[in-house]
Amino acid sequence: MKKIAKQSLMVAIAAAMGFGAAVAQAQTAADRVYVIDQRGEVARSGTGLCWRTGFWTPAAAAKDPAGCACDKDLLPKEVCEPKKAAPTGPMGKPASAKVTLAADALFDYDKAVLRPEGKKSLDDLVAKSKSLNLEVIIAVGHTDRLGSDAYNQKLSEKRAAAVKTYLVSKGIEANKLYTEGKGEKQPKTGTTCKGDKKSKALVSCLQPDRRVDIEMIGTQK
């Protein structure tokens, strides 16, 4: 029994000496604050915690290559999170402008050919666009409810297209222009104008429905 006990004691001593040598080897690097095993990796406990050396302090851990992996919660935020790259150039302030142009000012009644007055309104719009790094111009045509749905849809599309054609002729890039026709689907007058039979009074009452909504989107120069 004494012989067995003596052998067990020798094994335990040898194991302890081997472990101590590994730790000693790890601690010879003064700039490391975590125990490094013989594989060159940070030694961890059974619960996954990193073993610290006697040199460990939060400041020293911040400089250790394993600091963020082992003690991220204890280190300053800027140490473990990469800095965001600074913008390479000045960023313009997002801007948008929406204008509603009466179709009666742009076109003759029931027509899709721009009037001189309508062209002047669009010239003003082009001038305003020069203050923007323009991304897109959206032109949406609308009609009143007089006439068939199909006819009004087509007329609204033609009017929006006429606006686009003119803006392109004034230097706006075609790929920055989006057009759409809504026909009579989005009236502004609601139910205020009574009757369905075409009359001068009804045509006048429905005037707000005949329009082209134009929105410019970009950033300020």
pLDDT of residue 108: 86
Give residue limits of the domains in the chain.
11-80, 94-220
pLDDT digits (tens, 9 = 90+) for 61-94: 888 888 888 988 888 777 888 766 655 655 567 7
Q: What is the DSSP string of 27-76?
A: HT-TT--B-B-TTSSB-B-TTSPBPB-TT--HHHHHHSTTHHHHHGGGS-
CATH C-level class of 94-220: alpha beta
Whole-angstrom distance, CA of residue 109 vs CA of residue 115: 11
Q: Of 143, 137, 140, 152, whose CA–CA distance to 104 is shortest?
A: 143
Q: How many CA atoms lie within 13 A of 168 on its CB side?
A: 15
pLDDT band for position 151 (cuts 50, 70, 90): very high
Across the range 47-54, mean pLDDT stands at 86
Q: What is the CA radius of gyration of the chain?
A: 39
pLDDT band for position 114 (cuts 50, 70, 90): very high
Across the range 39-57, mean pLDDT stands at 85
pLDDT of residue 88: 60
Helix (H) or strand (E) holding 126: helix 116-129
